[in-house]
Amino acid sequence: MRRYPEMVDLVRRANEAGKVIAAICHAVWMLASAEIIRGKKVTCFFSIKDDVVHAGGLYRDEEVVVDGNIITSRIPDDLPAFLRAIIDALQR
């Protein structure tokens, strides 16, 4: 999806509007492409850690990381914590 400028722009605009942005595993690449992780604490699948860091993300090796409206997780095993964080953010 990050290869399509319209999708990248959609994520960028959603972030600018303060919407909840959630990404797990390799989906954090989309956030990097949308240029919305600079200075933000994030996590991702370990193999793209360097990409996240080069995009300005502050990498954390944790099951779920919440920084403002951005919620990230590493792997499918982290789904319970990831989904709890999303539900919590949507209830605010």
Is 44 catalytic? The answer is: no
CB 17 within 8 A of CB 10: no
Name residue 24's beta-bridge partners.
Answer: 73
Query: How are strands ordered across the β-sheet holding 70-73?
Result: 21-24, 70-73, 64-67
Catalytic residue among 21, 25, 32, 66: 25
Annotated catalytic residue: which of 1, 13, 19, 26?
26
Q: Is 54 a catalytic residue?
A: no
Sequence-distant (≥ 6) Cβ neighbours of residue 27 within 8 angstroms: none
Angstrom distance (rounded) from CA 77 to CA 82: 9
Q: Which amino acids are annotated catalytic?
A: 25-26
